[in-house]
Amino acid sequence: MTAPEIRQQFLDFFVSKGHHIVPSSPIVVKNDPTLLFTNAGMNQFKDYFLGNRAPAWKRVADTQKCLRVSGKHNDLEEVGIDTYHHTMFEMLGNWSFGDYFKKEAIDWSWELLTEVYKLPKDRLYVTVFEGDAKENLEKDQEAFDFWKQHVPEDRILMGNKKDNFWEMGDTGPCGPCSEIHVDCRPDEERAKVDGKTLVNADNPQVIEIWNNVFMQFNRLKDRSLESLPAKHVDTGMGFERLVRVIQGKFSNYDTDIFSGTIQHTEQLTHLKYGGTDNKQDVAFRVIADHIRAICFTIADGQLPANTGAGYVIRRILRRAVRYYFSFLEQKKPLLHELVPVLAQQFANVFPELQQQVDFVKKVVFEEENNFLRTLDSGIRRIEDFMGNAKQKSIDGRTAFELYDTYGFPYDLTSLIAAENSFSVDEKGFEAAMKEQKDRSRAATELDMGDWTILDENPASTFVGYELSETHTSVTKYRKIKAKGKEQYQLVLAQTPFYAESGGQVGDTGTLSFNGESITVTDTKKENNLIVHFVDKLPADVTTSVKAEINRNNRLNTTLNHSATHLLHAALRQVLGTHVAQKGSLVNPEYLRFDFSHFAKVTDEELAQIEDIVNEKIRANIPVVIKEMPKDEAMQLGAMALFGEKYGDVVRVVIMDPAYSVELCGGTHIGATGELGLFKFTSEGAVAAGVRRIEAVTGGNALTFVNEQLQQLKDIKAAIKNAKEPVKAIETLIQDKAALEKQLEVLEQEKVRQLSASLLQQVEQVNGINFLGKVVEAGSADALKQLCFNLKNEISNHVLLFAANIAGKANVALMISDNLVAEKGLEAPKIIKEKIAPLIKGGGGGQKSFATAGGQEAGQLQQVIAQVKGML
């Protein structure tokens, strides 16, 4: 059975049990401060379990893209070493939201594994929660009894709270779970060691494949548990492991999920994958695993970056590069070649990659190149260090500096060191690393207080599409403390405040409690909750409150948001439909729009785009906003964004059905004419294949144009209102250059004349050609010039020039090389010992030429005499 068949059978099976199949949510998580990436199938259903939202279907199944790069068994550095852990993986899951419970879940999982997938029953083990006295929890007898219908009792194992009781977080829904493990060892080994002793014991051949969670409790603040009125089922089965088991492979990497990329890597490197534990084979696995994580996160809109989620992608990509660089002897970008292979493989499951394959490839290529350059310069740096080292060792501080400042991986440092029989102080490195981590942690410490709940119903309704103010009440609030600054977060029963989302910034405004006015500085989303940020609490938080947004800011933001839609459509019209939104910022001042495009947008194209947008503004198109099923919206040709999660009912913003139809939750104006005017303020690049446009609308656009006009007016005035200002300025610049050149020639001539006259005044002192003069000079540089002009005219020389420049003494002394060698005369010595004290200053230079300066300019003649006297 092929992997796609196995996936399809899972979905078909649960359809036959009355489940609705939903698409995978994006792998990159938005609006959840506790999570960077989707790490479990249930993430997208969190609100259902929390009761923040009612589920649209009671039975759901899907395959979910997940990413795990930290945690006990999923340390990034471990992936590829073994045969069954991954960064990105697919999680197959089925859910019941207050519908079926333990019996069905257990029956169906058994049926699917043994009847459909035909796994041998005697190789399966199940675990059941054994109970926990401290929590006053009983053994999950129900689950045990249901399993007994299918599995002999000696293969039903009891598990403790750590393995068999699942909690979403510190508080919230939780419950016992039941895992299914499979023993893949050969029969001889199974005869020797009983499989049940190896369950949950980190044996690579005895692995968990499916976890069924039965949510029946709610964990309260005080750590106590209460029964949930509605009980849920939440399951997750690792797709890669399942396929491996069904296909009877020794390793996940031997399945057809990974074999395509591995074969392609073999072709590119002319090496062979052997499936062993040696470094070369580890490298093959690392690449096969990491390329998936890289591609799907980029396709979901997360570009490599140096903070947050983007930094995680960058680290994964760099780890892959490190492995092919060190162990596959590849010094050129390789990963990007695998992107089309992967896109093809997943075209039917996760089409977003295939749809953006050129873009993803380009981003990966640039990122690889970038890191290879970093490696290159790091290697130069480390070789440089070893070349100058007195001992054959690299201290921890240096190793850490290479890593921390120059991004050079520690394992490469240690590898290169070993090749040159250098040792590395690993302890010192670790210590420096720990210091860095502690510092960072201390700086980001965020003290988040408990919610104080005033109203048990946590639902929070947004009324800001229609209203700019409303009377409501606070449902809960809490204190947060970040970097010594105290703030409060409030949640209202109803709110006109728009929470930052889809690039549109959160509203600001005021909350009035009994006449006490509190300023809202920002509004953000936490999952589906709208959180208002304020600097202080009112005297009485329980009274009714008038919530009022800053209307002017909202209006300007709204103008910019509508303009963003017009711009997006115009970009696709002029540049092509490959243009996809990669980022957007909409605030009261301006709009910023990042999109995929591979070339600079030319001035002509920009003008054309701007024209189209302004044309649409003048056409005063009514903006129609409708809610409709997603399928219907897609039929209208609505633009949806990659990496954005949409519900089944979507909000559609239409500005002429033939021009712009977008799924959007933001605020918009009534008709495009309200925008007044649209002007670009800048165009540039932000990353490989991503361009950024900034623009202004309405009053801001007018201000912008007026400023530009004023500037032009000022320029014209500055050049006496010349008829052709551009030509006048060009002439001015040309003339200036010509004059500068002339001036230079004249000054050189002047110095030449001075030199010539000085040449006549050379004296013989002790067989030395001595020339010492106090001269007029405009700068210390001129004295230097004099010396260098004359040095070729006079041999066997000591040249000394002094000048009073702006009240300060400046001296230049030149001694011909032969005198330096023969008589031991050294310019810096003379400067420091004989001249500097006279002029109250200092100086130095090289043996044949040195300069000095000082505060006392009255002693210049004595300087000359002093030097002359010592010859």
Query: What does the binding site for RNA look like in residue numbers (CB under 7 A)?
Result: 306-308, 311, 314-315, 318, 370-371, 374, 377, 401, 403-407, 433, 436-437, 439-441, 443-444, 483, 780, 784-785, 788, 791, 808, 810, 841-846, 849-855
Measured CA distances, 401 to 373, 382, 397 (Å): 17, 11, 6
Tell me the closest approach of the beta carbon of residue 402 to RNA, in angstroms. Answer: 9
Tell me the closest approach of the beta carbon of residue 819 to RNA, in angstroms. Answer: 16
- Smaller CB distance to RNA: residue 26 or 843? 843
**How many angstroms separate the CA atoms of 142 and 151, rounded?**
14
Task: Note whether 589 and 556 are within 8 A (CB).
Answer: yes
- Smaller CB distance to RNA: residue 208 or 401? 401
Tell me the closest approach of the beta carbon of residue 713 to RNA, in angstroms. Answer: 26
Residue 85 marked as a ligand binder: no
At position 368, the amino acid (one-letter code) is E
**How many angstroms separate the CA atoms of 639 and 579, rounded?**
11
Residue 532 marked as a ligand binder: no
Tell me the closest approach of the beta carbon of residue 44 to RNA, in angstroms. Answer: 24
Measured CA distances, 815 to 317, 783, 810, 822 (Å): 60, 14, 17, 11
- Smaller CB distance to RNA: residue 374 or 510? 374
Tell me the closest approach of the beta carbon of residue 797 to RNA, in angstroms. Answer: 14
Tell me the closest approach of the beta carbon of residue 788 to RNA, in angstroms. Answer: 3
- Smaller CB distance to RNA: residue 245 or 412? 412
Measured CA distances, 107 to 37, 156, 521, 527, 676 (Å): 32, 15, 53, 34, 64
Residues pairing with 472 in the sheet: 545
- Smaller CB distance to RNA: residue 414 or 468? 414
DSSP state of 651: E
Residue closest to 209 by CA, chosen among 109, 140, 128: 109
DSSP letters along 803-870, please?
EEETTEEEEEEEE-HHHHHHH---HHHHIIIIIHHHHTEEEEEETTEEEEEES--TTHHHHHHHHHHH
- Smaller CB distance to RNA: residue 407 or 458? 407
DSSP letters along 491-541, please?
EESEE-PPPSBTTBPPP-EEEEETTEEEEEEEEEEETTEEEEEESS--S-T
**How many angstroms separate the CA atoms of 837 and 266, rounded?**
75
Residue 561 marked as a ligand binder: yes
Tell me the closest approach of the beta carbon of residue 809 to RNA, in angstroms. Answer: 7
Measured CA distances, 560 to 588, 677, 821 (Å): 7, 11, 76
Burial label, 730 (beta-carbon count in 10 A; 0-12, 13-18, 19+): exposed
Tell me the closest approach of the beta carbon of residue 315 to RNA, in angstroms. Answer: 6
- Smaller CB distance to RNA: residue 668 or 784? 784
**How many angstroms separate the CA atoms of 693 and 567, rounded?**
10
Tell me the closest approach of the beta carbon of residue 446 to RNA, in angstroms. Answer: 9
- Smaller CB distance to RNA: residue 5 or 749? 749
Q: Which residues contact 321 (CB under 8 A, 6 or more apart)?
A: 334, 335, 368, 371, 372, 375
**How many angstroms separate the CA atoms of 226 and 231, rounded?**
12
At position 347, the amino acid (one-letter code) is A
- Smaller CB distance to RNA: residue 423 or 440? 440
Q: Where does 129-218 have alpha helices with state H?
A: 141-148, 161-164, 187-192
Residue 270 marked as a ligand binder: no
- Smaller CB distance to RNA: residue 133 or 442? 442
At position 168, the amino acid (one-letter code) is M
**How many angstroms separate the CA atoms of 495 and 813, rounded?**
80
- Smaller CB distance to RNA: residue 315 or 868? 315
Phi, psi of 477 (to 5 degrees): -155, 160
- Smaller CB distance to RNA: residue 175 or 409? 409
Tell me the closest approach of the beta carbon of residue 50 to RNA, in angstroms. Answer: 25
Residues pairing with 474 in the sheet: 492
Tell me the closest approach of the beta carbon of residue 478 to RNA, in angstroms. Answer: 20
Among left, alpha and beta (phi > 0; psi -120 to 50; other), residue 796 is left
Task: Note whether 652 and 662 are within 8 A (CB).
Answer: yes
Task: Note whether 127 and 199 are within 8 A (CB).
Answer: yes
**How many angstroms separate the CA atoms of 520 and 510, rounded?**
5
- Smaller CB distance to RNA: residue 274 or 844? 844
Residue closest to 93 by CA, chosen among 211, 225, 252: 211
Tell me the closest approach of the beta carbon of residue 66 to RNA, in angstroms. Answer: 20
Tell me the closest approach of the beta carbon of residue 305 to RNA, in angstroms. Answer: 8
Kindly report the CA angle at 597 between 596 and 598, in degrees rounded to 5?
A: 130
- Smaller CB distance to RNA: residue 148 or 439? 439
**How many angstroms separate the CA atoms of 364 and 291, rounded?**
9
Tell me the closest approach of the beta carbon of residue 813 to RNA, in angstroms. Answer: 11
Q: Which residues contact 356 (CB under 8 A, 6 or more apart)?
A: 299, 580, 596, 642
Rg from Cα positions in the chain = 37
Tell me the closest approach of the beta carbon of residue 800 to RNA, in angstroms. Answer: 15
**How many angstroms separate the CA atoms of 652 and 627, rounded?**
6
- Smaller CB distance to RNA: residue 431 or 625? 431
Going by the annotation, the residues of the binding site for Zn(2+) are 561, 565, 664, 668
Going by the annotation, the residues of the binding site are 561, 565, 664, 668
